[in-house]
Structure 1
Amino acid sequence: MNTTPILIDGFGRRVDYIRLSITDRCDFRCTYCMSEDMTFLPRNEVLSLEESARLVRIFVGLGVSKVRITGGEPLVRKNAIWLFDEIGQMPGLRELVVTTNGSQLEQQAQALRNAGVKRINISLDSLNPERFRSITRTGDLNKVLRGIAAAKAAGFENIKLNTVLMRGVNDDEALSLLEFAIAQEIDISYIEEMPLGQVDHSRESTFVSNQTILKLLQQQHELISSAESSGGPARYWRIPNTKTRVGFISPHSHNFCESCNRVRITCKGELYLCLGQEDKIELMPLLREFPNDDAPLIAAIINSMTIKPKGHDFDLQRAAPAVIRFMSMTGG
């Protein structure tokens, strides 16, 4: 009889997927993700790579089979590839994936592939260089495009673009971004903007529902609903005679909480049970108080399942954001 503990929350949902942020720093300053003038954490308040590896090992021992490494921008973290190498060889792990802005892929794609990363999600919100620079405040579109090419050359077969469309900003590029994905033979997901952190625009004024985008795309392409899942919240559609899947992540127009299977760990070691709620457990103090004893960490993680909420509480009409912390602080 298998007595290995697994993570089940109070609503009977099994948690088998963690998203781990390894840095709050990023070389972009995307308008929907962080402020232009961010204050970043001092090094001693950020998990070491060894602490990150220890946490992942504990979660995998508790039945987690999918790990996504995020940031900020995870690939600007010094020696990040060491962590990917460590995680990639952990017994019991089914899938190691990364979310990146693509800026470092030209140099690091092959090393990620060698470490055992199975899938790469790349944020791309515009194919217009000037608009891309405006949305990211600092980004170079050509550098990201070279990064996508490097990921393909490294042999990655599962590459997905993540696109946040905003009314009056880049919603007119929905179709051209899909055409780019089809030409590149990669996937794309459209993500409704989430009300996290205080930004310099009204989320309600820029909100575009994925239902609107779906109808727009269907005017040019046949989209066939698919039951496929990548283990996350996206709902997928297939386009006949292409290799491209089209995903929609719709926290507002189609709440996906009923099947939530994931938790998030910030680079400070905060275990968030929901992206859209403030319920959390502090893991860093336990990591540092018990460097040679995993039992207190295991107990805290198992007990945290009792406070995992049923779902988020996003409301675009609120004057203040649902959650004050920026998306970059929780790792998406």
Structure 2
Amino acid sequence: MSLKDARGRPLRDLRISVTDRCNFRCTYCMPREHFNGEHSFLPRKELLSYEEIADVVKSILPMGLRKLRLTGGEPLLRKNLVGLISLLRDLSDSIDIALTTNGALLKQNASSLYEAGLNRVTVSIDALDPDVFQAMADSTQWSPNDVIEGIMEAKRVGLGVKVNTVVKKNLNEDQILPLLNRFHELDVPLRFIEFMDVGNTNAWNLDDVVSGQDIRTKIESEHGQLTPVAPANRGEVAKRFTLPDGYEIGCIESVTAPFCGDCTRARLSANGSLYTCLFASKGNDLKTMLRMNATSDELSDAIQSIWEKRSDRYSEERSEHTESTRKVEMSFIGG
């Protein structure tokens, strides 16, 4: 069955937040002044169990689901994450299972993640300079080297690896070329992300956005002309380019070049709500159904109804909504 929303977009990707907690306090995601000792994180009983998450995935698989991405918060803070990966892999040999992480805990977990059935990992790192890294992560416990060691271990055990970097004006613009040069050496694809107005706490301002075009101009000034790469499939969020020697980079331009028209993603929050947009103001409660022992068919019917009504295109309408719409925090539903 091929499920389509009100704008004809299929449901191909499910992003699953397994926790709202994180060991970093990145200024663009979980700024410390809002996520401090007084912030109330979800109690354990409010989190979906791994079995409940697997039930949701099982109910969507017949609708054309192709990719799963485990997110957070920081997903490696959730105990026995490999148990969830094993459950998901048992549902399908062919579905692509990925993980997004800040990399701090990746080195010691990479092998077990791979053995459990994980295909790929995307690691977020915003600077190689230790001071800039710690300023953006708002943490002194880890260094860029810790993250890079995790990346290298993930590659060694056989995981596919990509790196994401959020670029914010006057903060880490000078890290664009050092990051590119380092990951070029490691042969790890790097994607630069425009600073987005996700949630309500990161003090987003358009003046802080470094556009994908400006990022590419900086890269071309040192490495020569970039060659565009055609999208591999519908819903690909990064505009991809190659350097003259074939190394690939990407730019995710949600602000300056929205891609709502091809968005194939749903997001499952850690407490069991299904969101149809990264910038949504509210989700659709599935946890209650799960805990009332809904059947797989009943879950499928509910999700089908939610998706068929979906018409979200926040990024294309950003000028109308940025000031007035309250949005779910990225740490709650993942990026």
- The TM-score normalised by the length of structure 1 is 0.92
Which residue of 260, 267, 291 corresponds with 1:264?
A: 267
Aligned length: 325
Residue 305 (structure 2) aligns with: 303
Is it true that 1:254 corresponds to 2:257 in the alignment?
Answer: yes
**Alpha-carbon distance between aligned partners in 1 of 2:111 and 2:325, rounded to the nearest angstrom:** 39
Question: How big is the alpha-carbon RMSD for the aligned residues of Structure 1 and Structure 2?
Answer: 2.0
Structure 2 residue matching 1:220: 3-state secondary structure: helix
Identity %: 34
Structure 2 residue matching 1:168: 3-state secondary structure: coil
Residue 25 (structure 1) aligns with: 21
Alpha-carbon spacing, 1:161–1:321, altered in 2? closer, same or farther (3 Å): farther
Contiguous gaps of at least 5 residues in structure 1: none
Structure 1 residue matching 2:107: 3-state secondary structure: helix
Is it true that 1:241 corresponds to 2:245 in the alignment?
Answer: yes
Structure 1 residue matching 2:288: 3-state secondary structure: helix
**Alpha-carbon distance between aligned partners in 2 of 1:13 and 1:200, rounded to the nearest angstrom:** 30
Which amino acid is 2:199 matched to?
A: G
Structure 1 residue matching 2:118: 3-state secondary structure: coil
Stretch deviating more after TM superposition (54-63 or 12-21):
54-63
Alpha-carbon spacing, 1:94–1:295, altered in 2? closer, same or farther (3 Å): closer
Residues 135-284 of structure 1 correspond to what in structure 2 (within 5 A)? 135-138=136-139, 140-141=142-143, 142-156=145-159, 158-199=160-201, 201-221=203-223, 222-229=225-232, 232-242=236-246, 244-278=247-281, 280-284=283-287
The answer on whether the counterparts of 1:191 and 1:249 sit within 8 Å (CA) in structure 2 is yes
Q: Offset of 1:49 from its aligned partner?
A: 1.3
Structure 2 residue matching 1:89: 3-state secondary structure: helix
The answer on whether the counterparts of 1:238 and 1:246 sit within 8 Å (CA) in structure 2 is yes
**Alpha-carbon distance between aligned partners in 2 of 1:121 and 1:131, rounded to the nearest angstrom:** 20
Q: Offset of 1:55 from its aligned partner?
A: 1.2
Alpha-carbon spacing, 1:154–1:325, altered in 2? closer, same or farther (3 Å): same
Structure 1 residue matching 2:162: 3-state secondary structure: strand
Which amino acid is 1:195 matched to?
A: D
1:107-150 residue CA offsets vs partner (Å, 9 max, x unmatched):
11111111222211000001011221111112512221211121
Stretch deviating more after TM superposition (119-128 or 59-68):
59-68
Is it true that 1:43 corresponds to 2:47 in the alignment?
Answer: no
Alpha-carbon spacing, 1:102–1:95, altered in 2? closer, same or farther (3 Å): same
The answer on whether the counterparts of 2:268 and 2:333 sit within 8 Å (CA) in structure 1 is yes
